[in-house]
Chains A and B, each alone.
Chain A
Amino acid sequence: MSPSDAAPRPRKSRLSPEEQALVGRLRAGDGDALTELYERYSGMLLGLAQRIVGNSAEAEEVLQEVFLQVWNQVERYDSTRAALSTWIVMITRSRSIDRLRSRRVAERTASAAHQENSRRHTSPRGTRDVLMDERRGRLDRELAELPAEQRRVLEMAFFDGMTQSEIAASTGTPLGTVKTRTLLAMKKLRRALAEDIGDLL
């Protein structure tokens, strides 16, 4: 019997007991859980939103929308499909790109975020922050090892919210090549970061 013929298996939650408890408290309307969620992810999400929209004021507006959406739509979260952090990151990215598109700032560049007088995360650092720093270091190394064109396609798709057709038009590359570069970049990162992905899943 091939795998595709196998009977559907019950899906298993991809959350740690701690995150399961946090999601449960969010669903129960526990305001302290929202505070904990904010403390845990706000710095990372604000960095992402600021990277995409290009300024801190709009990034904070995005972050407010994100946490409200999580608070009001936590029932929609499916723990069998993605880690909690992944779900929130995707919401942040989606909201940021929506705002970016509505603003239509075509000339924004990746350096804009660095020119912004941003406040680096200076709050007391716990074990979780240290682990995230280590993971960010590995991620930076793996991204640096990607071929430049694959990394660029990936960043244009993820941070700039461009469709692959738009990337193809912007770079003058055939659409098929864009798709292939994207897929290759994702597969390499998937292999290189397998341990970190295992932690998330």
Chain B
Amino acid sequence: MSEREKPETNDPRDERDRDWLCALLDEPALAVAVADVDAADSEAGARCEYLAVLGLLAEAHEPVEPSPGLKGRILAAAGVGEVAASAAAPVNERIRRPVRRWLLPLAATVAVAALTLSAWQSLRLSEARAVIDRQASDLAAAREVAERLARMEGENAEQRAALSLLTAAGAEFCPLRPPAASPTPEAYGALAMSADGAHWYVRVVGLEQRAGYEYRLWFLRDGEPVDVAVLPGVTGDSMEMMNGEAPEGFNSVALTLEPAGSDRPSGPRVLFGDQRMRIL
């Protein structure tokens, strides 16, 4: 060993420093040792200075530029990053830090669960909407069928009433024929009245519906109207109507084509009848 390598043992503190330093360098975890060293203040200064020397050794090399993503990874792993500002509030970090380490995985789990639940609910909602739409469509179809049935029942009732009227004993018939100037010379029809005069029924064939006009059935006494009925529209080429009590005292019937709203027969006579026949 050369002269310059001999330890300086004149000062007792040199001996203590040497022992401490040797122990420190034999300890792999220097950082832990720094925190755990417990010594008197008289030695602490020397230890700190030696530690500072060791710290300076780290600067013996050129600093190296970290890769661009390293900073972000560190901040994310520390649970700071964008929430750094909100993390500045002074709270008990010994409690908060462990929580924060679990915060990101917990938040991710909750987010995934929420997304899954939302997707499941959206699927269920979509299925429910499809069922509702299908049921609404079925209901509309059922309503349409019900309305058609009701309409058919009404027509059936009218036809039964008409048949009853036509086949009842004592019923009267009045054939309706086109006069010479009739615009529909091919048309014909008949008016039937119950024996008690409580109902009448008319059916006409060979007519055409004209826009802005309506067919009116006039009950006439000596050429003057005593009652009138506005007939429904032409279905196919025929028209029929079942009605209530027939007026008394009429001796002829005329079917005219009138402008809508007319209260007197002014249009051409389409059909006319003045003969009444009773069924025995």
A interface vs B, CB < 8 Å?
Answer: 3-4, 6, 8-9, 11, 14, 25, 27-32, 34-35, 38, 42-48, 50-51, 56, 59-60, 63-64, 67-68, 71-72, 75-78, 80-83, 85-87, 89-94, 97-98, 101, 113, 118-123, 132, 135-136, 139-140, 143, 147, 150, 154, 157-159, 161, 163-165, 177, 179-184, 186-187, 189-190, 193, 196-197, 200-201
Contacts and interface: CB of A to CB of B under 8 A. Distances in A.
B107 interface: no
A193 B26 CA distance: 24
Nearest to B18: A183
A193 to B, nearest CB: 6
Contacts of B21: 182-183, 186
Contact of B65 (A113, A120, A154): A120
30 contacts: A3-B42, A6-B42, A25-B88, A28-B88, A29-B93, A31-B80, A38-B75, A42-B70, A47-B64, A51-B61, A56-B64, A64-B77, A75-B94, A80-B44, A86-B51, A86-B55, A90-B51, A90-B54, A93-B54, A94-B30, A120-B64, A121-B65, A150-B5, A154-B57, A165-B26, A183-B21, A187-B8, A190-B49, A196-B56, A197-B49
B32 A193 contact: no
Interface of B: 1-2, 4-8, 14, 17-18, 21-22, 25-26, 28-32, 34-35, 37, 40-42, 44, 47-67, 70-71, 73-75, 77-78, 80-81, 83-85, 87-91, 93-94, 96-97, 100-101
A148 to B, nearest CB: 12
A98 B32 CA distance: 13
B86 to A, nearest CB: 8
A129 B63 CA distance: 10
A139 B17 contact: no
Contacts, number: 244
B74 A201 contact: no
A167 B29 CA distance: 17
A90 to B, nearest CB: 4
Identify whether the interface residues of A are mostly helix, strand, loop, or mixed: helix
Nearest to A119: B65
B47 A34 contact: no
Given A28-B88, A81-B51, 7 more contacts: A8-B40, A38-B75, A46-B64, A64-B73, A68-B77, A135-B59, A193-B56
Given A11-B41, A94-B32, A200 B52 contact: yes
Given A31-B83, A67-B78, A90 B62 contact: no
A184 B140 CA distance: 102
Contacts of B47: 81
Contact of B55 (A67, A89, A94, A179): A89
B144 to A, nearest CB: 68
B70 A64 contact: yes
Given A32-B88, A42-B66, A184-B4, A163 B25 contact: yes
